[in-house]
Amino acid sequence: MNFCFPKREVIAPFPNDCCPSMVYICSPFSGDTEGNTLKARRYSRYAVDHGVIPIAPHLLLPQFMREETERDLAMFMDIAILSKCKELWVFGEPTAGMQEEIAYAQRKKMTIKYFDEEKITDDKNGWRLDKYNV
């Protein structure tokens, strides 16, 4: 049996009809999980606005995993997901888990970009962290 998707017009949201890179969003989660979740959503939106596909496992995995009992498994999954991304984007002060992700990216010679929250929230740069109430 041959399965085919019906033909339809594809609307490319990215410039030049290119296939954007996937970037791993590396930011704190533990501690203030509610506040850090909101920040991760905003960092992801920032990535979209800069023409890439954000991958933020710390927004997905807590939906069905418990950090206090499954942290090692979650970190394993984080690294597996990171291995599929082209770049690692780091936001905020690195936590222990973030340092593991950064170390992996360094070993694999991935592009790592560090973002200063104060600079990306500056109006003169054209983007504010509080621009999106996501």
Cα-based angle 38, 50, 12 (whole degrees, multiple of 5) = 105
Crossing angle of helices 96-107 and 67-82, in 10° steps, is 20
In a domain, 105, yes or no: yes
Contacts for 95 with CB less than 8 Å, ≥ 6 apart = 28, 29, 30
Within-domain flag for 15: no
CATH number for the domain spanning 80: value is 3.40.50
| 1 belongs to a structural domain | no
What is the amino acid identity at position 60? Answer: L
Q: Domain range spanning residue 98?
A: 20-26+36-131
133 pLDDT more than 60: no
Q: Is there a contact between 105 and 23 (Cβ–Cβ < 8 Å)?
A: no
Distance CA 118, CA 15 (A): 27
7 in any annotated domain: no
pLDDT at 85: 98
Domain count, the chain: 1
pLDDT digits (tens, 9 = 90+) for 43-72: 999 999 899 999 999 999 999 999 889 999
